[in-house]
Structure 1
Amino acid sequence: MRFVDRAVRDSFVAASLTLFALCALAAPQARAAAAYPDRPVRIVLPFAAGGVADITARIVAEKLGSKFGQRFFIENQPGAGGIAAARTVISSRPDGYTLALLSNGTAVSVSLFEKLQFDPTKDFQPISSLGFFDFILATSANSEFKTLGDFVTAAKAKPGALNVGTINIGSTQNLSAELFKTAAGVDFAIVPFRGTPEVEVALLQGNVALMIDSFASIKGNLADNKFRALASSGAVRSESTPDIATVRESGVTGYDVVSWNALFAPAGTPLEIVGTINAALQDILTDADVKKQLLELGIEAKASTPEEISARLKSDIDKWHEVIEKAGIPKQ
């Protein structure tokens, strides 16, 4: 009996010590979450300053700073595949003070890069989406194509004769063109350029018959009536371009391309902190002023649950993997 009593007592002592240790570890985390944020927070972007993602992040960061009374600042770390920015974030302490902006481009990078050096589905904790945006399929104002249907008809009549301009190979715009080729059942040459300005010049000079890019990138030429928008890429018309028919409405079934930006944290970030940021974004992204600012860029502001944006990331990884494989785009 004494042996049994001693064994029970020892087991009880061991369990009590384990519970005490767990509580001791949890207590500082709980206090940290309750006080969050008590110092500046950086948001690392895999893009250069001045682009759509950068402007979106800065608008949101300013609002987060006002809401929490702490500075949220942007750190731009552009680079192929978003690798540099991702490594910076996932090597940081998972305490909510270093966040990442991931995008549809992150989903593309998984299949596009041989050595991505990170797994966005495992190395990051999702927080919320920030916004969603379509791409515009546009031609020059003096083009013979008045509708996207006109372009498809011409492409079917002369396979391989027409050129479509996009930015670099593997970009979402470039893959959108590859998907359009498959969905419409047509053959045309996709011509990649270093940046949007070069694509715009090519379109104006007649070197490409069609270009695909974001509304924000080409809205100046659209407003000046130098370009004609033939269609938008989403499944339904965007709030930013309600007068532009979708590719689906134009007769190409099954086509749906919507890009997005979202906030993620390093894996292991306390769920209390994730919830705090998510709740703030739910408020910020329904603010009329924020929605107006983003809509002018062609972006529909929208917060999500962590689970929703995680599911979107995984779904887009699968979607663009199939497009990349079908197009035969080599890994970089």
Structure 2
Amino acid sequence: MSITRRDALRLGGIAAAGTLGAPAFGQSLPDKPIRLIVPNAAGGVADLTARTVGAALSERLKQPVVIENRPGAGGIVAGQTLLQAPADGATLMVATNAHAISKSLFRSLPFDPIRDFAPVGLMGTFAIAVLVAPQSPIRTAGDLIAQLKRDPRSGNIGTISVGSTQNLAAELFKTSAGIEATTVPFSGTPALLTSLLRNDVTAAFEIVAPLMGQIRDGSLRAIAVTSAQRAANLPDVPTLQEAGIAGFDVTSWNAIVAPARTPAPVVERINAALNASLADPTVRSKLLEAGVEARGDAPAHLGQLMEAEAEKWRGVIERAGIERQ
């Protein structure tokens, strides 16, 4: 049976609620620090989420959780590190949207992003915003769609690198809205925002979390978010669904996975500690400050979400004609 991304999150929340406060029975973890590998550099959303959740996990599992940043090659470096680790629960990895996308984005990988890793649990989700410059005459997503439908050459959409969630969200937006504007990829967020503020691009798709200060002070204007529901940190910004694009739902996420052969009781013990951590008001508040909405999940439902996301982005990549890397 197929499952939508929204259903996976909803069911995961219900399942997680049932595990909160559950005793951590089952096979013991090795008596040594737990490595939590992050496939991104320090300071990003995934890193901040890992450090916040890792500290809470350490308290509940009574073992140190050590964050190990292993950026590079679109998550391949981190994935290989986890793949080579013993499947005993002492080595975990943060999985992101890129983990699911990589299955269709790369010609070959040294591992299968779904089969070779055991889902442990979701940590949180965070929004992608559609942004314009403060002086732009475009006030709503409806304005943007109308302009690009009238004349596709009158504007374009900026994102970060080809194959990123932001880039694919823009491609999905164009298909869903029935527009043919050019998507312009940039090497990173600073270059993208510079181009947006110079009016070199009409609009930009970018993760909200690192841009909250600029949105709040008015140096960037968010006209929509790509998630199915409004973002908790941008409650006044409508969704693309509200702009008339039925069913549009792109939400970035961070989760924890383990080596595929990790014993189920170990996975369940870590999942119980993870969900209990995410129910802690202090942890939830810290994550929200970083732009992340805490969201627990059961291992099975995270697995379904990852499979659904991989299939969803495979279709987007094929329709956009993005060449495999």
TM over 0.5: yes
Question: 2:123 aligns to what?
Answer: 130
Moved segments of 4+, more than 6 Å = none
Q: Give the aligned partner of residue 80 of structure 1.
A: 73
136-145 or 117-126: which moved more?
117-126
Q: CA deviation at 1:256?
A: 1.0
* Percent of aligned pairs sharing the same letter: 44
2:274 matches 1:281: yes
The match for 2:157 among 160, 164, 169 is 164
- Partner residue, 1:118: 111
The aligned counterpart of 1:103 is 96
2:309 is matched with 316
Q: Using the alignment, how far apart are the partners of 1:319 and 1:35 within structure 2?
A: 37
Structure 1 CA distance for aligned equivalents of residues 98 and 27 of structure 2: 34
Q: What amino acid maps onto 1:316 in structure 2? A: E
Q: Contact 2:38/2:94 (CA < 8 Å) preserved in 1?
A: yes
In structure 2, give the amino acid aligned to 1:215.
Answer: V
Q: How far is the alpha carbon of 1:242 from its aligned partner?
A: 1.5
Aligned-residue offset at 1:260: 0.7
8 Å CA contact retained: 1:164, 1:210: yes
- Other-structure match for 1:180: 173
1:254 CA drift (Å): 2.6
Alignment of 1:164-313 (within 5 A): 164-313=157-306
TM-score by length of 2: 0.90
Deviation, 1:33, is: 5.6
Q: 1:50 aligns with which of 15, 38, 43?
A: 43
The answer as to 2:306 corresponding to 1:328 is no
| Contact 1:128–1:281, Cα closer than 8 Å, also in 2 | yes
- Please, which runs of 5 or more residues in structure 1 have no aligned partner? 1-31
Q: Could you tell me whether the CA contact under 8 Å between 1:37 and 1:68 is conserved in 2?
A: no
CA distance in 1, matches of 2:129, 2:210: 10
Query: TM-score, normalization: structure 1?
Result: 0.88
The answer to whether the 8 A contact 1:128-1:263 is kept is: yes
Number of residue pairs the alignment of both structures matches: 301
State the secondary structure of the residue aligned to 1:298. coil
Q: Per the alignment, in what secondary structure is the counterpart of residue 159 of structure 2?
A: strand
Question: C-alpha displacement at 1:298, in angstroms?
Answer: 2.1
Does residue 93 of the first structure (1) align with residue 90 of the second (2)? no
Question: Quick one: which amino acid aligns to residue 87 of structure 1?
Answer: Q
* Structure 1 Cα separation of the partners of residues 211 and 182 of structure 2: 21
Q: Which residues of structure 2 form unaligned runs of 5+? A: 1-24
| Bigger Rg, which one | 1
Say if 2:136 is the partner of 1:152: no
